[in-house]
Amino acid sequence: MQIGFTSPIHVITTNTESGLLEDLINDIYNIRENDSGFNLSNNMGWHSTADLFLRNEDSIKKICRICASSVGSTMKNYNTNFNPDDYDAKFVGWINVNPKGGSNNLHTHPNSHWSGVFYVQQPIEVKGYSGMIEFINPIQEGRELANLIPQKGFDPVIRIRPKSGQLVIFPSYLLHSVHSNNSETDRITIAFNSQLIKK
Ligand SMILES: [Fe+2]
């Protein structure tokens, strides 16, 4: 079988060293003290300045390195000869903190290749779609086949609720949104866009 058209969603369990998530949470709340943030796709949540890959906090530097190397590993799935040294990689990252009621409207990440979301703190609340990220299939006509063969790539939407410490990498063109956080715990993620320019 040759796969014709598909949109992959990579869910990666990262090897974060012990204490990194706790350090990230502390640093993120400290950063928020001095950053009123932006209003983009976020409703009620805080979206930080998109300077994450330029910051000096140890925890942020470590997670940015993990995100960048995971994009490299993702590329190797498609091109075993992929060598990151052959590319100028441009990364832009930011933090999202969604309190109870916080959500993100449907959007894409234009002018990028791969986008990603690292889950720093994902409430374990599983009622309804709380805090789930929802991806829209660009090929909506697949819904008929999805009735016959569900969960094989034809479904109109995919909803997932990754765990803390997991990283989701997806093509930047994929429309996605985040359902309202219905728990009392903040949903904290680090999001990024990457662009790989061949040297
Ligand atoms: Fe996004």
pLDDT at 41: 80
Q: How far is the CA of 183 from the centre of ligand 1 (A)?
A: 21
Q: How far is the CA of 1 from the centre of ligand 1 (A)?
A: 32
The answer to whether position 4 is within a domain reads no
Cβ–Cβ under 8 Å, residues 48 and 35: yes
Q: How far is the CA of 88 from the centre of ligand 1 (A)?
A: 23
Using pLDDT thresholds of 50, 70 and 90, give the confidence band for residue 137.
very high
pLDDT tens-digit readout, 146-170: 999 999 999 999 999 999 999 999 9
pLDDT at 36: 87
* Domain containing residue 108: 10-198
Number of helices (H), then strands (E), belonging to the chain: the values are 3, 11
Mean pLDDT computed over 28-46: 90
The mean pLDDT value of the chain amounts to: 95
Mean pLDDT computed over 167-194: 97
* Number of structural domains found in the chain: 1
The answer to whether position 103 is within a domain reads yes
Q: How far is the CA of 26 from the centre of ligand 1 (A)?
A: 23
The answer to whether position 5 is within a domain reads no
The answer to whether position 194 is within a domain reads yes
3-state secondary structure of 6: coil
The answer to whether position 170 is within a domain reads yes
**What CATH number does the domain containing 45 carry?**
2.60.120.620
Predicted TM-score (pTM) of the model is 0.95
Q: How far is the CA of 85 from the centre of ligand 1 (A)?
A: 27
Q: How far is the CA of 144 from the centre of ligand 1 (A)?
A: 27
Cβ–Cβ under 8 Å, residues 136 and 107: no
Q: How far is the CA of 107 from the centre of ligand 1 (A)?
A: 6
| Residues 85, 49, 175, 187, CA torsion sign | positive
Q: How far is the CA of 178 from the centre of ligand 1 (A)?
A: 8
The answer to whether position 66 is within a domain reads yes
Q: How far is the CA of 148 from the centre of ligand 1 (A)?
A: 30
Q: How far is the CA of 177 from the centre of ligand 1 (A)?
A: 7
The answer to whether position 169 is within a domain reads yes
Token readout for 142 is: 């697949």
The answer to whether position 1 is within a domain reads no
Cβ–Cβ under 8 Å, residues 160 and 174: no
Residue 32, CA distances (Å) to 26, 72, 79 in order: 10, 30, 39
Q: Does residue 125 have a pLDDT over 80?
A: no
Token readout for 90 is: 């441009």
pLDDT tens-digit readout, 58-109: 999 999 999 999 999 999 999 999 999 999 999 999 999 999 999 999 999 9
186 secondary structure, DSSP code? P
